[in-house]
Structure formats: structure tokens, C-alpha cells
Structure 1
Amino acid sequence: MEGDQAWRPGLDQETLERADWTSQVKDYAIVRLDRDGLVLSWNAGAELVKGYSREEILGRSFEVFYPPEDRESGLPRRLLAVAEADGRAEHQGWRLRRDGVRFWGDVVITAVRGDSGQLLGFVKVTRDLTEQHLLERSRQQFVAGVTHDFRSPLTSIEGYAAMLVAELTDPVLGDFASRVRSNALRLMKLVDLMVEHCQLPIGSVRLNPEQVALGAVLRTVVDDLSTTVQDHEVSIQDTDVELRADLTALARVFTNLIGNAAKYSPPGSRIDVLVERSEDAADAVDIVVADRGRGIDPEDRDTIFDEFVRGRRAHDDGGFGLGLSVVRALVEQHGGAVRIDDGRFGGTDVTVRLPLADTGSTGSTANGPGLQTAQGS
């Protein structure tokens, strides 16, 4: 039968083995180095990226691709040492073309070993990311400028409004001042959210994982949201779960989710934060933020975590539709996942699944059946 026949190439094996498969690749500079870093091979991409012809560069040290300050600091040799010890080394930085012009290179150096494990040399792959790097620098400068230009006047407005709230005795004027202050704070939060959103896709948010107690994080988040949840009762399930996570990023995730639950739930309703064993992943835990609010339209389920998407039931509530996209990005950076389901209490359940810390524990989710209740008011 046709499906039982092994695939056979149209060319003979000798021809395939004799061909230089990388020499014609033009999108990447692919260079073979000996153990001392001398160039042994040179493909078309290397000539385009670095400007040397094959005849000019063969036999020369790969250090000529690095600026003088990097050569003086020993960077090329350190990269080879890392690749030899760990199997590969990665680095981004300025590199030199033959004409002396610098370009921003993304470099991966891989150690190549023989059958007995002896080091034979290295393969160095370089991409020219100059355009992307300069664009990213411009974007960061723009975001920094916009952040400063927005936050400075908003901080001033909020500060003076807070003074008026404290000093005014006329209840009507005091209410006006309070509204000014709350809107200034809301705009400041939106500015922070936009900056955070701009940073996430390019990996500018650096995670610093540490052992964190999930229960302590959730309690701190609710305490910090006391004003936001003051009209709700927030119940946090007792738990001894520990995670390997970035404390600040984890707090951002649940600040956003619990804040959303309060925003889209009627005053006086309860919000439950539940910690459950994952049914289909023994090394993970599910944290569920369950509200009794308006819920999410079923047609929005597949897109609600996308950037600038706001559900059909949220058009009159303000915001840019960035909060849940930030939540998803941060959770996925931790190796987790997030989903939205119909709420067990009639509203919405948002489930964050995160890997458990490897502590040798059984991964139990609760010390007991009780709930810790935080009253917003």
C-alpha cells in the first residue's frame, strides 16, 4: 500500500550529504568556527550582514565582528567559554561590519562535539536586528515622555483635589472635589496600564521569581484594594500553597482580576477567591476569582483577553481593554494559563492556573475548610 512505503528523496544520498545546506541562506549569518574562534565557513547571509567576502574572512578570528570595547572586555572569549560549558550562548549587542558601521546583532553560539564528546568547534548564527532595536528605543523614549507628561499634571490635580476634599465643608463642593480626585486616580491607573502593556510584548518586564506564599499575596492585594472593594465582601480561601513567582507580577494579576470583579458586580455582592487543586495537572494550582456580577457575553470568550477588546457588556464602564491582556501575558510568562467560565455563583469565574513550587509538599490547597473574609467597608 502507498501509505506503507517509506519516503525516498528524489536525489541520491551522496548528493544530499555533499551539498552545503547553509551556504545559500541569506536571512541569517551562519558561521562555523574552530575551537579557537577562527572562521571556517561563510554563508551568503554572513556576507550580507557583515560585509566580508568569503575570501577575506576565512581563517580570521571572529573577534573582528566585535567593537573595540567588547574585545578589550573579553566578551567574545567569554561567549565561547559559556557555549563550551553550557552548550550554547546567547547575546544581543552592537557588532561591526567590514566598513566599520555598527549593527545590532542577535547572536547564538552553539558548541559542536564529536561522538566521544570532544569539542570540535562552534556554529555562530547572527541576525541583524538594528531596525527593530532603534524602533524599540524610540518607542521606549516616547512611552517615557508620555508617562511623565501625563503623570505630572495628574499627580498635581489629584493632590490638590485631595486637599479640597479634606478642607471643604460644603457637601456639594466636597463631592465635586472627590469626583475630580477619583477621576485623576483613574487616569493615572490607565497611564500605568498603557505603559505596562507596551512593555510586555517585548519582554521588558523582567520577572524575578522567588518562593511566595499565595495566601499572603491574595490578602495583601485585597488590603490594597480596600477602597475599590469597599462595597463588597471579599472571601479568600485559606491556603498553604507556595509558588515560584514574581511577587509584583502576581500581585498585578490578582489586583486586576479582583478589581474587575468588584467593578462589574452590584454593590453588596460577594467575591470569592478560591484555591483549588487542578483536576488535570498535578503540579499546578487553580486560583478562581468568582463574582456575582453581570457575566461576560459568550461571544466574547475567545477574544476577551486580546488587546483593546472590551466585552459587549462593558462599553459604558470606561477603560481601554488592556487589563486582561496584561493578565494573560503575565500569567503565561509564569508558565501558566488563564480562562473565563460561567460563574458558579451566577456571575463570572476567572481561573488562573499556575505551576506549584517544587517544595516536596503534596500541593494541598487549603489548611482547612474555612474562608478568610475581608469586608470592603
Structure 2
Amino acid sequence: MPSAPANQPNHPEDRYRLLVEAVVDYAIYMLDTNGLIRSWNSGAKRIKQYDQSEVLGKHFSLFYTPEDLASDLPGRALKSADESGRFEGEGWRVRKDGTRLWALVIIDPIRAEDGSLIGFAKVTRDLTERRAAEQALRQSEQQFSLLVQGVTDYALYMLDPNGIITTWNAGAQRIKGYEPAEVIGRHYSMFFQADDVANHVPQRALATVVSEGRYEGQGWRVRKDGTRFLVHVVIDPIRNEQGELIGYAKITRDVTESVQAQQEIKETREALFQAQKMESLGQLTGGIAHDFNNLLMVILGSLELARKRVPQDSKVQSLLNNAISGAQRGATLTQRMLAFARRQELDPQPVDVGGLIRNMSDLLCRMLGAGIRVDTQFPLVLRPVLVDMSQLEMAVMNLVINARDAMGGEGRILISAREDSFPGSPPGSDRLICIAVIDTGPGMSEATLQRAMEPFFTTKGAGKGTGLGLSMVHGLAAQSKGRFVLKSVVGEGTRAELWLPVAEVHSSPQATEPVSTQSPPDTFHVQPLDILLVDDDPLVLISTGAMLEDLGHRVTPAAGGQAALACLTQGERFDLVITDMAMPEMNGVELANTLEQLFPALPIILSSGFAEVAVDLKSALTRLPKPFDQSALARVIADMLRARNEPPC
């Protein structure tokens, strides 16, 4: 029989030991009969954060919370394992750094051949994330249950696959007159008229749900007191993950006094769908924006530094310029995503409308397709408007996309601009710039036109439009002290007018492309500074530190707010602190507020990948949006120091 390879353990105990040590998702270790730790695997080290040398010989109660120690849970667990042959439970445990984890714990007794207890085997699984998810789901279900029970204008209840009633909400009780105990367990045909029951209307409705996926209709039903009422009914199938039918969701609305209620139900369902979709998009965009901007900043910073170290006549220069341009386009895309999700602060600047539209022309043509002709009409001289350029871009794109959809992919769109007084305004009123998007589509009826700017209202059907495009344009106009007007006649197309204030005469129009990163950092040269750089992302920390050092500054990196405080409280002196906004444990605002109390004279720059909605700043801070390049970094430092050194007016 061939022997095992020299590098393979022969003894079974050695193989078991290697197996246990290789497990990293479970903390597996042994206790003696007194509860003292006698072994420690890599999973235990990862989960509880202790090295083997820190725990061997110590009592396993080291990991328990003060509450559990007070009730002697560790001792009771060992006693239970000894007496019943096994202990299993879940509860909070404490890591080395003091944080808590929700753990699944299993303790088995280890006995000698004669049955005497010689110790315990303990297995711990970190279920913190799963518990959080379960609690979130449980809370969501409770809130949904409260929502359903709180609805009194609708009868909301569930049926099993045979049509037997299984749930009953307050609205059903109010509309139909039955208590839950009187209907649960009975067939829902009890509410139908005798003729409908005889004609198997209830069964046919459920059969329609199975075959077509939904049933919707109106009909007469009978209350407990025998009176009849007209209802609008919706029945949807409920299926499990395998696609098997497990019941039906039934919504009944009393429309006896007004048959218009069926339209209200449809609008409510569509608004709910739109709200959920936009909420999900907002959460997704906000969640990825910070990390995405961090990555772009690392790329831009590293490429810039690399470009400075490559000879100007090198072929690599063109490649680096290409890469930088691509990263800048990525930054622009991120800003548009944030604008769409309404997570971007407005930054009004003078904008050349004609130049902006011209620079958008290629994008619009690709987006609209060959069937749409786009024409522009601008005067030779047009004063700039005061508006957030990226938001204006998004507004124009929304209007053009609406026009495309209205025309079914074929037709003509005219984009024009003019300076004028808003119609109906008193003489002497401020002049505005009117940006108009005109299509040759079918137009809108008066009823549709009246509701077109309502949030979530759309004529495109469920799932085909957000219903927020025009409301976002309207919001931009209102925030920018302008107006938004929609004009349409059936058969004559639609005209959308965005009126925006004229920028001050001395203001120069903003560039219609993202700010160039080619500005020489030397333009903003300042004396070398001792800078404390704070960011939880090591890539950003390295990249930003390299840019600062290339500018001649001395940099001390800190991987978080607590590390930054440690540097400062240990006596190190700094001329400036640059800190990230979104960091675990202590974010940038919290750090800045703390530093303001401890070191009120210390300048602070707050950097962020997106504009946080609720920023609790005790005082105004210099902001540095991510992604930034070396030139922007140098500019912000120079502007901040210049502002601090200028005497007050």
C-alpha cells in the first residue's frame, strides 16, 4: 500500500486539526471542564478578533455581554451541555474591539471512553448580518400589516387556492359588515348575489386570475345586513418562489356612490409602483456614488501624477490624456446620476444656453434615433442664464425624451431660446431666458395637460416612465427663480418652455463641458503645509497623499476619525486637515465638529463623493467634491487659506 506524501499528515488527528484550522466562517475551539479555552482556530480569530495567545487559558465568558455575565449564562450553557448532551442558542457576544455580534452558539460535551466529561467543543457562527436582515424584514412585514389594517376604505383580504378567506382587514369589516371570526374559513362567494353564485361567477373570477394573471371588474355584492352595494374588485395571484399558486390577494372598493373610484384605485397602484421604483433608484445611486467617485478620484489623481513624470514628447502622453478624459467623462456621468436621483446640491452659475445645447447635440442625436430630426434656433447674442448647468442639461434631456416618446420615434423637435419678459408679468419685470422644446407629436388633451406636471403622473403606462420628468423640470425652474410652462393642443404637438433668470452682466458664461483638469497646480501655489489627511479608503489616502506631496506639502495619513484625533491629541501640529465625509464610526462632519471644539483655529476641508442630504455642520466648512484632481485640490487649499487670511469687511 503506498504511503502518504511527505507533506501530507498521516495521523487522523493531524488531519482533523488542519480541517478545523482551515475553517474561517466558524469559530471552533475547545474548553476544559471549567470553561477555560484550550484551542483556537482561524475562524475564531477572524470573528472574535483575538489572537490565540490572547485567549488560551482564559474563561470563555470573556466574549459575553455584561447582561449575560450577570445572569451566569456561560455557566448555565456548560451545565446544559453536560446534562442534556448539547447546548444551542443565539445571543449577543463581544469582540475584542468592543463591538457586538449576534452569534449562533453550539456547545457539545466531550467525554472519555468511560463517559466522564473531559471538556466541551464550542462552535460559533456570526449571524449579525442575517439577524439585521431578518429584523428589517420583520419590521417591514409589521409595518405592512399595520398599513393593511389601517386601510378602512378598501377591503383587503387573502384567499387560499380554493377561495377560502384567510385574512380580513378593518376596511373589509367596515364595507361588508362582517367580523373576522364570521368570515375567516368560509368561501368568498358568501358576498355574491344568488344569481352570480348560481352562474359560478366567483369560480370564474379565480380561474381568470390563474389563466390571465389578474382579474379586475365591477359587480354587485351583498353586505351582512342584506343590502347591496356596487364594488370594484381586483384579484391578484400569490405565488411562492417556485411559481406555485398559494392563494389570492383581493382588493374590494365600495363604488356605490361614485363609480369613479375604480380610476382612483388604478392611479393609487401606479403611484405606489412609481414611488417604489424611484426610491430604489435613489437608494442605489446614493449608495454607489461615494465609492464610485472615490475610484474615479484615485484614477484621475494617479494618472495626473503619472503624466507629470512622463516626457511631453512621449507616446505615453496621449494614452494618459485619453485615460484622464475617460475618467472625467465618468465623473460627469456620476453627477448626472446624482442629479437624476435628486441628491445633488444646486450650484447656480452663468451658463451659455446655446453652447450647452450645441455640446449636447451629438448625445441627443444618438439618444433620439434616426427617425427624429432635431433643429435649433438661437439669436446671435443671448445673455447667459443663472442655473446649475448639470441640472439644466438633465432638464433639456427630459423634455427632449418626452417629445421623442410622444412622437413614437418619428418627427421633428425644435429647441430654441430667446430673451423676453414672462407673459403676464407687470411692466419693468426682470427679463428671463426662455428655452423652448417643441415637438410635432399628437399633443395632449386639456385634462392630461392639467395633470402633466403632477409627480408620478404619466401617460406611458406602468413601468414605461417615471412620471417625474416634468416635475423635476418644474422643480428646477422654481429653485432657480424661474418658471416652467407646458402648452399643448391635440393634433398640434406640445411646447415646453423653461424660463430662467438672466445672469448678472459682469458674469461670464460657465463652460459647457466639465471643468478641465489641465489647470497647472502651480497657479495655486502656497507655502508647504503640514497636512493631516483623513480617509477610510486606503487607495484614496495614497492617491491624495501623493498629490499633496507632489505639491510640496508634508502629509500625515489617518485611516479614520479616531486615528486623526489620536494624531492631534498626541501633540502633533498641523496647518490643515482634509477629511472625507462618509466614514464608518466617525464621519467627516462629526470629526470637523469635534476639531472645532478642540482646535478652533485649525482649518478643515471636507471632501465628499456626493452631496449629503442632511449635513449637521456647526459652522460652514470648505467643501471639496469628489472626484477631484491635483489642480482642484491646490485651488481649494489656496482659496481657503486666502479667505482665512483676508481681513473681515
Q: TM-score, normalised by structure 1?
A: 0.45
- Of structures 1 and 2, the larger Rg is shown by 2
Instruction: Select the structure with the greater relative contact order (CA < 8 A; seq sep ≥ 6).
Output: 1
User: TM-score, with normalisation over the residues of structure 2?
Assistant: 0.27
